[in-house]
Amino acid sequence: MIDVMADIHLLYTHEGGRKSFICSGYRPNIRFGDNVYVDGAITFSDREKVFPGDTCQVQIRFPKPEGIQKYLTIGTSFDINEGALKVGEGKILALP
């Protein structure tokens, strides 16, 4: 298990993003590179909800980071997906 700090941006609904907000604990598919998907639990402490179109700083916990070690570097970009649907994107800001 590993935690990283990241900036994320949720796409607007009209851009193909979610229809509703996310809460702390939201657990989408984080997509690195071309097609490397892992589960990541997103938590944030400065607000209760993050809405489509919002940008904020979050913590992402990866329960099984073994397959993504090479992507875990500061500045790496990733997509936030729900299956095939891209609902947001982000960039790693800090590592433990």
Partner 1 sequence: MRRCAVGSVTLSHCVTGVGGKDDTDASAATLVDGIDCMGMHGDANEKARLYRAVSQDELDDIISFGGFRPGPGHMETKLFTTSADDAAYVAREILYPLDHKPLTIVEVEVPHAFWIRLFRFIADGKPVVAVEPNQLEALNAKGRRRVMDSSPIPYGSSCAFGDTRKG
* 14 binds partner 1 per the rule CB under 8 A: no
* 15 binds partner 1 per the rule CB under 8 A: no
- The smaller minimum CB distance to partner 1, of residues 34 and 75, is found at 34
- The smaller minimum CB distance to partner 1, of residues 5 and 36, is found at 36
Distance between CA 8 and CA 55 in Å, rounded?
Answer: 6
Distance between CA 49 and CA 51 in Å, rounded?
Answer: 6
Cα separations (Å) of 19 from 16, 31, 41? 9, 20, 19
What is the residue whose two structure tokens read 């996310």? 22
Q: Interface with partner 1 by CB under 8 A: which residues?
A: 1, 18-23, 25-29, 35, 37-39, 41, 49, 61, 63-64, 67, 82-85, 87
